[in-house]
Amino acid sequence: MPLLILKTVHFPSPCLKPLLFSFHALMAFFCVDFLHWCSSLFFLLLLSGYDFAAVLEWFAERVDRIILLFDAHKLDISDEFSEVIKALKNHEDKIRVVLNKADQIETQQLMRVYGALMWSLGKIVNTPEVIRVYIGSFWSHPLLIPDSRKLFEAEEQDLFKDIQSLPRNAALRKLNDLIKRARLAKVHAYIISSLKKEMPSVFGKENKKKELINSLGDIYKRIEREHQISPGDFPNLKKMQDQLQAQDLNKFQPLKPKLLEAVDDMLAHDIAGLMVLVRQEETQRPNPVVKGGAFDGTLNGPFGHGYGEGAGEGIDEAEWVVARDKPAYDEIFYTLSPVNGKVTGANAKREMVKSKLPNTVLGKVWKLADIDKDGMLDDEEFALANHLIKVKLEGHELPSELPAHLVPPSKRKLPE
Ligand SMILES: [Ca+2]
């Protein structure tokens, strides 16, 4: 599962700068395999003599995800980096952004930097969706300003989840690549055949060729109009003009409508069928997930995100964590006129809405707390409901299923 990470290089000292200036001020990491990503990184410090954009485009086509790294404490998008991002224009769906070293600045400043980054990216990247930016400190050093630790942890988890899910989407991505290539081939056929059509068969070939190459931009526009093609699907104008110089335009092929029909038919029918097959296969197979490296040690254990907090509080304790506050909850419980040790749904609801939480959340609390599903709450279930409300009010998420340590002791031995 290839991954492309792009980052500007900040030269450590001004005196080194002239020395390094012959290198492009940009580094690209190409991870072939994220599993052992530290050992299998290709560092591409590219000489400025290369067609840097073309090299990047080559990589961009072959990777599953492109990660642009920015440093929060010295955010600048150099002209080179802007050019690079523009070179990725057909692969915007693969781009994710990491705002790294966010622990080096105060929260208020971080918000400003985040805003500035989004604004700058919006000008360079042409996509209808907002690009996902992950904020954090992605190395193993202590956090300089730990205020936003929780945010960083959550962001890291999101980024890891995104990367780990890539193998699942790989087949779909290849299919999308095929569609993209088919569209580009069609445009190419239109351009080549238009040039052929304009060429005289006997006299004035050289002059006509020059004229056609010079007016290639207009030819693009005409094809764009006639066939409703997006301008982004056309090859780079300048490069195409350069390459046409060396070609004999008379030897180009005329348009073969049958072949174009076949491509259109494939796009309209075959691809749709393949799409269904790919999705089917995905649901039947276990999801392949990226493991190893940084992914280990973050998911489970006490240093996993959110461990021992919110609904996870008391996970290590022998005692039921809800028991701590149960006497206070019991006092309320007995004012709700319990019958045979249970309060009705209506009576419990009257108390629970006092939390001012929306009904969708309280519904979830109810589902988690009414363990025996009898539509009523006994004193333990009622205490649990109140505990979950407290968890939510303290800003934590509710679990989708009740974790084992929150199940009241008297209900732990219930057969499933
Ligand atoms: Ca119940």
What's the residue count for the chain? 416
Q: How far does the centroid of ligand 1 lie from the alpha carbon of residue 344, in Å?
A: 9
Q: What is the reported pLDDT for 50? A: 63
Q: How far does the centroid of ligand 1 lie from the alpha carbon of residue 412, in Å?
A: 14
The two structure tokens encoding residue 135: 């904020």
Q: How far does the centroid of ligand 1 lie from the alpha carbon of residue 125, in Å?
A: 53
Q: How far does the centroid of ligand 1 lie from the alpha carbon of residue 373, in Å?
A: 5
Q: How far does the centroid of ligand 1 lie from the alpha carbon of residue 300, in Å?
A: 31
pLDDT at 225 over 90: yes
Q: Are strands 65-71 and 342-344 parallel, antiparallel or unpaired?
A: unpaired
Q: How far does the centroid of ligand 1 lie from the alpha carbon of residue 366, in Å?
A: 9
pLDDT at 33 over 50: no
**pLDDT-based confidence at residue 297 (cuts at 50, 70, 90):** low
CA–CA distance, 321 with 311 (Å, rounded to integer): 10
pLDDT at 151 over 50: yes
CA–CA distance, 72 with 194 (Å, rounded to integer): 49
Helices 326-333, 379-393: inter-axial angle, 10-degree rounding: 120
Report the mean per-residue pLDDT for the chain. 81
What DSSP element (H or E) covers 69? Answer: strand 65-71
Q: What is the reported pLDDT for 406? A: 94
Q: How far does the centroid of ligand 1 lie from the alpha carbon of residue 378, in Å?
A: 6
**Contact 357/393 with Cβ under 8 angstroms?**
yes
pLDDT at 207 over 80: yes
pLDDT at 20 over 90: no
Q: How far does the centroid of ligand 1 lie from the alpha carbon of residue 144, in Å?
A: 48
Q: How far does the centroid of ligand 1 lie from the alpha carbon of residue 368, in Å?
A: 10
CA–CA distance, 155 with 163 (Å, rounded to integer): 12
Q: How far does the centroid of ligand 1 lie from the alpha carbon of residue 309, in Å?
A: 26
**What is the set of domains in the chain, with CATH numbers?**
3-168 (3.40.50.300), 171-280 (1.10.268.20), 314-411 (1.10.238.10)
Q: Which residues are bridge partners to 42 per DSSP? A: 30
Report, in this order, helix, strand and coil percent for the chain, each rounded to 5. 55, 10, 30
Q: Could you report the per-residue pLDDT of 238-292, keeping only the tens digit for each?
A: 999 999 999 998 899 999 999 999 999 998 898 888 888 887 877 776 666 666 6
| Residue 100: closest CA among 143, 70, 77 | 70
**pLDDT-based confidence at residue 294 (cuts at 50, 70, 90):** low
CA–CA distance, 63 with 3 (Å, rounded to integer): 5
Measure CA 98 to chain center. 10
Rg of the chain, C-alpha, whole Å? 30
Q: What is the reported pLDDT for 66? A: 87
Burial class (CB in 10 A: 0-12, 13-18, 19+), 391: buried
Could you tell me the pTM of the whole model? 0.56
Q: Which residue's entry shows tokens 């348009």?
A: 255
Q: What is the reported pLDDT for 16? A: 40
